[in-house]
Amino acid sequence: MIPVGRDAPDFTVPKAGGDAYNDIEPFTLSDAVGDGPIVLAFYPAAFTSGCTEEMCAFRDSMDAFDDLDASVYGVSVDLPFAQNVWIREEELNVPMLADWNHEVIHAYDVVLEDMYGMIEVAERSVFVLDTDGTVAYRWVRDGDNPDFAELVDEIESAVAGLRP
């Protein structure tokens, strides 16, 4: 697990924007660093109840993150085409990063090896990066899903704490 205080591993993956089925463009983390805090919200799978609840909690709090000049990205091993459909169905305002080759979940050491006893996905976790690309906050699910509204409030507070 990437600890607080360490530089976040860089990566390039497809980013699903949600405007259309094929609204996909490359996203490189190091290109986004410096524009403001970055929230990477890893989730196991689009269209599942817990992941939908989590991303809807972020959706409902995006004004607060925008006010903090923070960028929020969902990260999963889903294909970007599926992520685009999910974004549209749930009216999400959070771009999704498609780690379909599983490199990012391994780099951040957030691998859930046996979802449904058979597939490797992202472990539900959140990393907040400061404007230097250093991990300033980390949360990893332990046990049952949290109250997602409370979790998002905690993440918002972590981001607010990065302001000068």
Q: Are 21 and 85 in contact (CB under 8 A)?
A: yes
Query: What is the C-alpha to C-alpha distance for residues 135 and 127, in angstroms, rounded to an integer?
Result: 7
Active-site residue identified among 51, 75, 94, 97: 51
Query: What is the C-alpha to C-alpha distance for residues 24 and 114, in angstroms, rounded to an integer?
Result: 28
Which distant-in-sequence residues (6+ apart) come within 8 Å of 159 by Cβ? 37, 39, 65, 68, 70, 128, 137
Q: Are 59 and 148 in contact (CB under 8 A)?
A: no
Query: What is the C-alpha to C-alpha distance for residues 35 and 32, in angstroms, rounded to an integer?
Result: 6
* Alpha helical stretches, state H, 68-135: 80-90, 103-107
The answer to whether residue 51 is catalytic is: yes
Both tokens of residue 11?
């990566």
Task: Give the DSSP letter of residue 29.
Answer: H
Positions marked active-site: 51
